[in-house]
Structure 1
Amino acid sequence: MAAPTKNPTKNPTKSPTGSPAKSPAKASRWLRRNLVVLAGLATLAYLLLPNVIVTVFSFNKPNGRFNYEWQRFSTDAWTDPCGVADLCGSLSLSLGIAFWATLGSTVLGTMIAFALARYRFRARSSVSTLLFLPMAMPEVVMAASLATLFLNMGVTFGFWTVLIAHIMFCLSFVVTAVKARVMSMDPRLEQAAQDLYATPLQTFLRVTLPIAAPGIAAGALLAFALSFDDFIITNFNAGSAVTFPMFVWGAAQRGTPVQINVIGTAMFGIAVLCVLVGQLVGGRRKRS
């Protein structure tokens, strides 16, 4: 009796070419192992998609006033970013307000954060609650309240009213960032510096401030971004002053110049460059 012949199609683990076939179980295990990474990449792509569109349309040359449809490639807007009237003036005003608002809110917020984290005093919990209110309160409520205050005081709306409003708005975010860093500091490091006959000023400059510097820098960067990007509070308290967000809002009603995309792309590139430089400096310090 002849032996039965082997049927090559009966082996489920082999593909027609002889290599192992990927089973659904392996694909499911790979998906479970990399699900968090895939979700993170998808979220990052979703967040960066508007920036990519802004960058692409900064090289567009539209036929009309609106830069909403791709027409043809051009670098005219990059060679003349101030080609639109009052664009660079509003940009310089926003940068100036953001700089001084960041400086004022960072100095005040750092002192308040140290006071709340290191000292016990009356109404400490009430102060913490009041500092949290600007973060939880809608911006339009704060904007209308500040506008009413300035009107009752007879203050002329302009640069200074916007600056005061931005400092008040950014102060809560700076306090939150710096306070979290201060509360995680080890007080024994400062005690060791005092045991080595360091004065209070030397202890603060050489021990306390370098440790708290990442929190202070994070609060300052957040304050700058919030101040430069703010529209609602600025619109209520600017008067005749026109910042860059207000210019963009007004220009969008008549047409969107390509130079707006150029400024947005440049600001995004500068922000990414600052983050990369910070990462490189931090990596070198860890290695050293």
Structure 2
Amino acid sequence: MAAKPTGKMRCRLTSLSRFNIASLALGFAFLYLPIVILVIYSFNASRLVTVWGGWSLRWYAEFFGDSAMIDAAWMSLRVGATSATIATLLGTLAAVALSRGERFRGRMLFSGMLYAPLVMPEVITGLSLLLLFVALNAERGFWTVTIAHTTLTMCFVAVVVQSRLAALDRSLEEAAMDLGCDPLRAFAAVTLPLIIPAVAAGWMLAFTLSLDDLVIASFTTGPGSSTLPIRIYSEVRLGVKPEINAICTLVIGLIAIVIIVASAASKLSGARGESAAPL
């Protein structure tokens, strides 16, 4: 029989539990209290950011009436959707190459170059892309920012998709090829449906990273193509306006929705991968 906890053991367990709860509360407060304050003050009726003047939707109306902010938000959405789609396509192909071609020549170099943006400082990445576009005499604007964000986010998509491919049973593709499918058709009919949730999660992660980026976009953007983070940063340098709180609250809500959907897709992908894994 297991020994019953003594009084000293109960005291230690209680103090440990209280310590864990206090640590968890402090951690959440450190992470999310500034965001909660920002969201609350986005409904402030006062023009002064630090003075509460009652509840109001005034600053949300100000945002939707600000054509410059709307253009910047639309620019960010277009860049994010386009770069995420391209990054998802290229990242998925790269993940398939790394998972299904373990012994091809140059695999180590290819893998290192693919994952380099994960550890490379964004300042270096942005500066190198700026020098490339200047050398090519490319006009900086929508496409240069899109290419830069694709370079940044493709490696994240590859990591997500490759982790799902590693959990799948390759004998499923081999069985499809034994039944007459060529490798491309076997991948499309068997493997792709199993990794679709991971592909979707990779797209959402790439979209979120693109929507949030400031450093690389500031190096590669041009006149008339400022993204929303650049516009917000330029406005904040002149002083924080209540309208900025409203804009940031909308961005937080959008990113929260994307993260929730990505997490759900990732869990679904994991469940399908485990069901398809060999016993």
Pick from 218, 221, 229: which aligns with 2:204?
A: 221
The 1:143–1:275 alpha-carbon spacing in structure 2 relative to 1, beyond 3 Å, is closer
Deviation at 1:154, TM superposition (A): 1.0
Pick from 252, 256, 266: which aligns with 1:268?
A: 252
User: Contact between 2:204 and 2:259, CA under 8 Å: does it hold in 1?
Assistant: no
The 1:177–1:192 alpha-carbon spacing in structure 2 relative to 1, beyond 3 Å, is same
Which residue of structure 2 aligns with residue 112 of structure 1?
94
TM value normalised by structure 2: 0.82
Deviations 1:36-77 (A, max 9, x none): 67655543443222321221011013334xx24434322212
Amino acid at match of 1:87: M
The 1:39–1:227 alpha-carbon spacing in structure 2 relative to 1, beyond 3 Å, is same
Are 1:252 and 2:236 an aligned pair?
Answer: yes
User: Contact between 2:204 and 2:258, CA under 8 Å: does it hold in 1?
Assistant: no
Are 1:62 and 2:46 an aligned pair?
Answer: yes
Deviation at 1:178, TM superposition (A): 1.2
Deviations 1:220-250 (A, max 9, x none): 1221111111111111110212110011111
Deviation at 1:92, TM superposition (A): 0.4
TM alignment of 1:1-288, pairs within 5 A: 25-32=9-16, 39-40=23-24, 42-64=26-48, 67-119=49-101, 120-195=103-178, 200=183, 203-240=186-223, 241-276=225-260
Count of matched residue positions in the alignment of Structure 1 and Structure 2: 262
Between the aligned residues of both structures, percent identity stands at 33
Q: Looking at CA atoms only, which structure, 1 or 2, has the larger radius of gyration?
A: 1
Deviation at 1:34, TM superposition (A): 7.5
User: Contact between 1:102 and 1:167, CA under 8 Å: does it hold in 2?
Assistant: yes
RMSD of Structure 2 on Structure 1 (CA)? 2.8
TM value normalised by structure 1: 0.79
User: Contact between 1:82 and 1:259, CA under 8 Å: does it hold in 2?
Assistant: no
Aligned partners of 1:269 and 1:27: how far apart in 2?
42
Aligned partners of 2:88 and 2:112: how far apart in 1?
19
Aligned partners of 2:172 and 2:252: how far apart in 1?
38
Greater share of helix residues, 1 or 2? 2
Amino acid at match of 1:262: A
Which residue of structure 2 aligns with residue 4 of structure 1?
none
Larger displacement relative to structure 2 (177-186 or 159-168): 177-186
The 1:154–1:107 alpha-carbon spacing in structure 2 relative to 1, beyond 3 Å, is same
Corresponding residue SS for 2:152: helix
Amino acid at match of 2:141: G
User: Contact between 1:194 and 1:203, CA under 8 Å: does it hold in 2?
Assistant: yes
Aligned partners of 1:39 and 1:195: how far apart in 2?
56
What 5-or-longer segments of structure 1 have no aligned partner? 1-22
Deviation at 1:133, TM superposition (A): 1.4
Aligned partners of 2:220 and 2:47: how far apart in 1?
36
